[in-house]
Structure 1
Amino acid sequence: MNIQRFSVFGTDNIGVYIFTNDKYTIIPKNLDKGSKEIIQDNLKTELIETSIADSYLIGVFVAGNNHSILLPRIAKESEIKVIKEAAKDINVEIVDVRATALGNVILTNDRSALLYPEFSDAEANTIKKALGVEEVKKGTVAQVIVVGSVGVLTTKGGLVHIEAREDELKLLSSFFKTNLEVGTINFGSAFIRSGMIANSYGALVGTSTTGPEILRIQRAFSE
């Protein structure tokens, strides 16, 4: 996997601004040309430029996989239209659940989804259908309830919170049907999602991510 250090708006917290799957990367509208070229070269996707609820925190509000892109109920009609028109060949769905920071509360790949434990069973079922996954469950990672913020997954692998126990990691790997490793990002942050975006083709990490952290990421995402 090709891994490149990157920053957005002068910050290493690139994952809060960007969502990607294997086909599309949703980015803030005012990114410079050089940044857009780095994203495209690394992730090999089409770019969709928009905001969500008039915010550029796209990675916080959007969740999804290669089947679906899930948008929060607070997304504006104009924003939904931009994404739906650009991503015509996958499911784009507005999910009417209490939580709006979907990127923080849903950890998913194409097979399974781990959800914020405070979701109701009905909400969990809504998310399962919208994502098109085989299995969902509510739970935590390393006792953190905002599960989407402490992991990045693809079908090829995943990196989760450094304090996830060995038995927990084994269960999660089995649940997501892919190899998972523990690690950190941006010189020691356990909130993996805030500093990393990845798909099957490549990954971008915050510029303060160290060499040993990158080696761990490469191991996590090598099939």
Structure 2
Amino acid sequence: MNGRSRFQRLAFDENPNVGVFGRANDEYIFIREGLSKNVRRKIIEALDVRFIELRIADANIIGSLLAFNKNGMVVTDLVSDETLNFLQDQGLNVCVINDKYNAVGNDILVNDNGALVHPDFHDDAVRLISETLKVPVYRGTIASLKTVGMAAVVTNKGLLCHPKVDDEEKKILEKIFQVPVMIGTVNHGVPLIGSGLIANTKGAVAGSLTTGIEMGRIEEALHLNE
């Protein structure tokens, strides 16, 4: 562990829905602007990533507006040319999804093995997502919810999802992402895991209301104690 804390419980301006404001993989976190130096330090300590602040369409809900893995990034068509150029300057392969379901962070769940997307995405959008992220893309639901990016969090080690996921959905998730699937909650019983958790294979940032039992479940599901 090299002396760092792999798990942090935080609120952003007293809001425990941290997953709405940021997304991470093992290299980057893209997150809303304006967080304090102390919060920023704790995020970097937990996730061990490059910290990049963003604003998209004059909004700070960055976690709801983009999705990415090691191969590329999918971003909402609300993005400005300036922000798009900035993302590309980071060396990222970025595509813009022109679809009525443009809260792509809510609608795409992805790791380096596969992606699950909102079942109503158009064929062109699914094709572009697959080409950009360089993974197979499947349409589907989690716990009958179409907003799959809010219903779960996945890394290259594990997946934690809504407690009402059914057996068939669970089998599909394991096949797509090639990791074990567990159920849980965040922020004292909230089933929308993606709303209150940012994670990678190195650590996790959960909402400030997340209980000790929920923290243990997150650590177990995402194999953060290895």
Provide TM-score, normalisation by structure 1.
Answer: 0.94
Give the counterpart of 1:70 among 53, 74, 83.
Answer: 74
Please state how far the C-alpha of 1:83 moved relative to its aligned partner: 2.2
Count of paired positions? 220
User: Could you say which residue in structure 2 is the equivalent of 1:139?
Assistant: 140
User: Could you say which residue in structure 1 is the equivalent of 2:159?
Assistant: 158
Moved over 6 A (4+): none
User: Could you say which residue in structure 1 is the equivalent of 2:222?
Assistant: 221
- Give the Cα–Cα distance (whole angstroms) in 1 for the partners of residues 218 and 184 of structure 2: 7
Q: 1:5–1:207: 8 Å Cα contact kept in structure 2?
A: yes
SS of the residue aligned with 2:46?
A: helix
- Give the Cα–Cα distance (whole angstroms) in 2 for the partners of residues 203 and 82 of structure 1: 26
After superposition, the C-alpha distances for 1:24-43 in whole angstroms (9 at most, x for unaligned) are 11122211111111111111
Q: 2:99–2:122: 8 Å Cα contact kept in structure 1?
A: no
Question: Aligned-residue CA RMSD in angstroms?
Answer: 1.4
- Give the Cα–Cα distance (whole angstroms) in 2 for the partners of residues 70 and 167 of structure 1: 27
After superposition, the C-alpha distances for 1:24-70 in whole angstroms (9 at most, x for unaligned) are 11122211111111111111111111201110010010111121121
After superposition, the C-alpha distances for 1:171-221 in whole angstroms (9 at most, x for unaligned) are 311221011101111011111111000011110000111111111111111
Pair 1:168 & 2:172 matched: no
Please state how far the C-alpha of 1:93 moved relative to its aligned partner: 2.4
SS of the residue aligned with 2:7?
A: strand
Identical amino acids, percent of aligned pairs: 35
- Give the Cα–Cα distance (whole angstroms) in 1 for the partners of residues 70 and 144 of structure 2: 27
Please state how far the C-alpha of 1:91 moved relative to its aligned partner: 1.6
Unaligned runs of 5+ in 1: none
Partner amino acid for 1:94?
A: V
User: Could you say which residue in structure 1 is the equivalent of 2:200?
Assistant: 199
Please state how far the C-alpha of 1:99 moved relative to its aligned partner: 1.8
User: Could you say which residue in structure 2 is the equivalent of 1:55?
Assistant: 59
SS of the residue aligned with 2:194?
A: helix
Give the counterpart of 2:128 among 126, 129, 146.
Answer: 126
Partner amino acid for 2:97?
A: V
Q: 1:18–1:28: 8 Å Cα contact kept in structure 2?
A: yes
User: Could you say which residue in structure 2 is the equivalent of 1:41?
Assistant: 45
- Give the Cα–Cα distance (whole angstroms) in 1 for the partners of residues 172 and 83 of structure 2: 37
Partner amino acid for 2:174?
A: S
Provide TM-score, normalisation by structure 2.
Answer: 0.92
SS of the residue aligned with 1:110?
A: coil
Q: 1:12–1:186: 8 Å Cα contact kept in structure 2?
A: yes
Please state how far the C-alpha of 1:143 moved relative to its aligned partner: 0.5
Partner amino acid for 2:139?
A: K
- Give the Cα–Cα distance (whole angstroms) in 1 for the partners of residues 146 and 187 of structure 2: 21
Please state how far the C-alpha of 1:16 moved relative to its aligned partner: 0.6
- Give the Cα–Cα distance (whole angstroms) in 1 for the partners of residues 194 and 185 of structure 2: 10
Partner amino acid for 1:108?
A: V
Partner amino acid for 2:102?
A: T
- Give the Cα–Cα distance (whole angstroms) in 2 for the partners of residues 27 and 168 of structure 1: 29
Partner amino acid for 1:182?
A: I
Partner amino acid for 1:221?
A: L
